[in-house]
Amino acid sequence: MTARLIRIRRKEKEGRAQNYLKLKIRSRHMLGKTITMIICMLNILFNLATALSDSNSLSPDFKFEHHDNRELIHVLKQVAERCPDITRVYQLAEKSILGWPLSVIEISDKPGIHEPLEPEFKYVGNMHGNEVLGRELLLALANYLCWQYRKGNEEIQTLVNNTRIHILPSMNPDGWQISTDQKGGKDWLIGRSNANGVDLNRDFPDLNEVLYSEEQLPLHQTHHYFLGSQMIDHKLQPETRAVMMWILNNPFVLSANLHGGALVANYPYDESPSGKTQEYTATPDDQTFKHLAHAYASAHKTMSGKQHINCGGDDFTHKGGITNGAAWYSVAGGMQDFNYLGSNDFEITLELGCNKYPSEERLPKEWDINSKALLNFMWQAHIGIKGTVRETGTGRPLQNAVIKVHNITDGKDFPINHDVTSVRGGEYWRLLTPGTYRVTAMKAGFQPQSQEVTVTNIPHQEAQRVDFTLAKEPVYTESENSLEENNKPDIPNLSLSRLLAYMRSQERS
C-alpha cells in the first residue's frame, strides 16, 4: 500500500470519527433539550393538577374577591342553603355601631345543638377592620367544609361530625367599610378600630391585672376570673359585648383570632405583669400553647419556612413561626387572654401576612398557603382528655366541677395552675400535650377523685375519655360538732372564688 493511499484512508477515518463525534454531541444536546422539555411539561401538568385540585376544593360558584358586608352575609346564606343538614347561620346578640349584624355560620352534623362531649371551636376574623385576609379565608373555609362534606371527603366528614364549628368572618364590619371606603384598604391604620374609633382588641376586661394581683395571695383563683360587671372598668363597645356573651354562653374549647400585618402564630399571655413592653409571659399551659401555635405554623406553607419573611422588622420564621404575645409586645384588654382567663377556651392569635389588605388576585394563593393550617388547627380541639363528672349513685351530671391537673411525666410532679370546669351536662375538655398526668375532679360538697392518665394524642381522633364520679361529703350532725353549729362556713367545701371572698371579709372584720 502506497504512502499516499495510507494518508487518504487515515483522513477518511478521521472524518468519520469527527462526524461521529459531532453526531454524538448533537444527540446529547437534543437529549438534553428533550429532557428539559419533558421536565417543563411535567411541571406544567403538576401545576395544572394542583390548580384543578385547588379549584375543586371549593364549590364552582365560589369567587375569591373582597366581599362587602352585604355580600359576606349572602355567601354565608349560600353555604347554608347548599348544606342545610350541617349548617346554621345566626347573629350575635348585638350589632355593630353602624347596624351590621355579626353573622356566624355554625358547621356541625347537628347544627343548633350541643352534642354531649363534642368540643366547640370558633374562628374570629376581621377584628381589626383593615386586616381583611382572615375575613376572606373564613368565607372560603365555610364553603370548603360544606363542599367537601357533600363530596364525601372522609376527613372533613369526621371533623364536622365530631366538632361543633363556629365561624365569625367579621367582628368589625364597620372598620372594614371605613378602611375600604377611605383609602381602598391601603392605609396601615384607617379602619383598624370600630366606628367609635375604639380598638376592639384593647376593649375586653383586663383579667390579667386581676390575675397578677391575686397571684400574690397564698390561695388564689386559678380559673374563670370574670365574675361579673364589677370586672369592667370602662364602657364596652357593642361588638365586644356581643363576643363576650358568645364566649361566656358557649362551652368553647379552642379558638383562633385572625389578624394581619405580620406572619406568626401568637400565644398567651399577651400582657406582661411588670408593664414592660416586651417580656415573655408564660401561662401555666405554656407547653400546650406552644403546641397549638406550632400546629398552625407548621402546616402553613411559609410561616415556619426556610425563607425569611420580614414584616416591618418582625421575622419569626427562624423561631418556627410562633411567639409569645407579651414577648413580642404587651397588650392589655385583648380578646386572646380574656378567653383563657374568663372561660375554658384556649385561644391564639394568627397573624396571616405582611399585607393587611392583599389584592383580590392574591387571595387564591393565600387560600392555598393557609387552608391546610386552618384545618390542622381545628383538629387540635381533640387533643388531651375529655369526659363527664357525675354524682356517685344517682349519675346526676355535676356542673362547675373543677378539673385540676398535675404533670407527672418522667417522675416530675408539678401542678398546671390553670383549671377548667365542667359545663352543663357535667362535661369537660382539657387540652394537653403527650405525657402522664394526675387529673383530679373536685366540687364543693363532694369528695375529690383523682386518676392517672397517659395522653398520646393520636392525630385526627377524638380525645381520650376520662370520666369521674364524685361521692357526697359526709353531713355532720350537731352532736359531731359540725362547723354549722357555730354558724361558720364549711371552708373546705367552698369554691375558690367564695373562699377568697370569705378570707377578705374576715380580714376586714
Q: What pLDDT, in 10s, does the model give residues 166-199? A: 999 999 999 999 999 987 778 889 999 999 999 9
Catalytic residue among 118, 131, 351, 366: 351
195: exposed, middle or buried (Cβ count in 10 Å: 0-12, 13-18, 19+): buried
Question: Would you kindly state where each structural domain of the chain is located, as residue ranges?
Answer: 1-43, 62-382, 385-470, 478-508
The two most distant CA atoms of the chain are separated, in Å, by: 141
Q: 3-state class of 209 per DSSP?
A: helix
Please give the Cα distance from 383 to 251 (Å, whole number). Answer: 16
The pLDDT tens digits of the residues spanning 216-245 come to: 777 677 789 987 777 888 999 999 999 999
Which residue, 468, 470, 396, 462, is CA-closest to 115?
462
Please give the Cα distance from 104 to 124 (Å, whole number). Answer: 9
Whole-number pLDDT of residue 500? 38
Whole-number pLDDT of residue 490? 34
- For residue 209, give the amino acid letter: E
Average pLDDT over residues 336-361: 97
Average pLDDT over residues 299-312: 92
CA distances (Å), origin 373, targets 107, 369, 413: 18, 8, 33
Does residue 340 contact residue 268 with C-beta atoms inside 8 Å?
yes
Whole-number mean pLDDT of the chain? 87
Q: Is 351 a catalytic residue?
A: yes
Q: How confident is the model at residue 313 (pLDDT cuts 50, 70, 90)?
A: confident
Q: How confident is the model at residue 509 (pLDDT cuts 50, 70, 90)?
A: very low
Lowest-confidence region among 9-13, 262-266, 455-459: 9-13
φ/ψ region of 111 (left if φ > 0, alpha if ψ in -120 to 50, else beta) reads beta
Order of all β-strands in the sheet with 435-442: 414-421, 402-407, 435-442, 449-455
Please give the Cα distance from 23 to 154 (Å, whole number). Answer: 56
Does the pLDDT at position 287 exceed 60? yes
Whole-number pLDDT of residue 149? 98
Average pLDDT over residues 360-371: 97
Does residue 209 contact residue 229 with C-beta atoms inside 8 Å?
no
SS3 per-residue string spanning 274-288 = CCCCCCCCCCCCHHH
Selected residue with higher pLDDT from 423 and 40: 423
Strands 402-407 and 252-259, how do they pair? unpaired
Whole-number pLDDT of residue 177? 97
Whole-number pLDDT of residue 186? 82
Domain 62-382 = CATH 3.40.630.10: yes
Cell representation of residue 287: 407547653
Does residue 424 contact residue 436 with C-beta atoms inside 8 Å?
no
Whole-number pLDDT of residue 14? 58
Average pLDDT over residues 477-505: 39
pTM of the model: 0.84
Please give the Cα distance from 414 to 417 (Å, whole number). Answer: 9
CA distances (Å), origin 360, targets 56, 139, 473: 19, 14, 63
The pLDDT tens digits of the residues spanning 451-472 come to: 999 999 999 999 999 999 999 9
The pLDDT tens digits of the residues spanning 74-112 come to: 999 999 999 999 999 999 999 999 999 999 999 999 999
The pLDDT tens digits of the residues spanning 31-66 come to: 445 544 554 444 434 433 443 444 459 999 999 999
Whole-number pLDDT of residue 82? 97
CA distances (Å), origin 280, targets 215, 324, 336: 17, 6, 16
Q: Which residues, including other chains, have CB under 8 Å from residue 366's CB and lie 6 or more apart?
A: 133, 136, 137, 352, 353, 358
Selected residue with higher pLDDT from 479 and 361: 361
Average pLDDT over residues 361-373: 97
Decide which of 3.30.420.40, 3.30.950.10, 2.70.70.10, 2.60.40.1120 is the CATH code for 385-470. Answer: 2.60.40.1120
Radius of gyration of the chain (CA): 30
Q: Which residues, including other chains, have CB under 8 Å from residue 481's CB and lie 6 or more apart?
A: none
β-partners of residue 421 are 402
Helix, strand and coil percent figures for the chain, each rounded to 5: 40, 20, 40
Does residue 302 contact residue 318 with C-beta atoms inside 8 Å?
no
Whole-number pLDDT of residue 480? 46
- For residue 155, give the amino acid letter: E
E strand or H helix that includes residue 123: strand 120-125
Task: Examine domains 62-382 and 385-470 and report if their fold is the same.
Answer: no
Whole-number pLDDT of residue 15? 57
Does the pLDDT at position 426 exceed 80? yes
Does the pLDDT at position 409 exceed 90? yes
Does the pLDDT at position 488 exceed 50? no
Q: At what angle do helices 154-162 and 133-151 cross, to 10 degrees?
A: 110
Average pLDDT over residues 152-172: 98
N- to C-terminal Cα separation, the chain: 134
Does the pLDDT at position 339 exceed 70? yes
Does the pLDDT at position 115 exceed 90? yes
Does residue 172 contact residue 96 with C-beta atoms inside 8 Å?
yes
Q: 3-state class of 358 per DSSP?
A: coil
Please give the Cα distance from 263 to 373 (Å, whole number). Answer: 13
Please give the Cα distance from 500 to 156 (Å, whole number). Answer: 46
Whole-number pLDDT of residue 216? 76
Lowest-confidence region among 36-45, 335-344, 388-397, 400-409: 36-45
Alpha helical stretches, state H, 387-458: none
Whole-number pLDDT of residue 489? 34
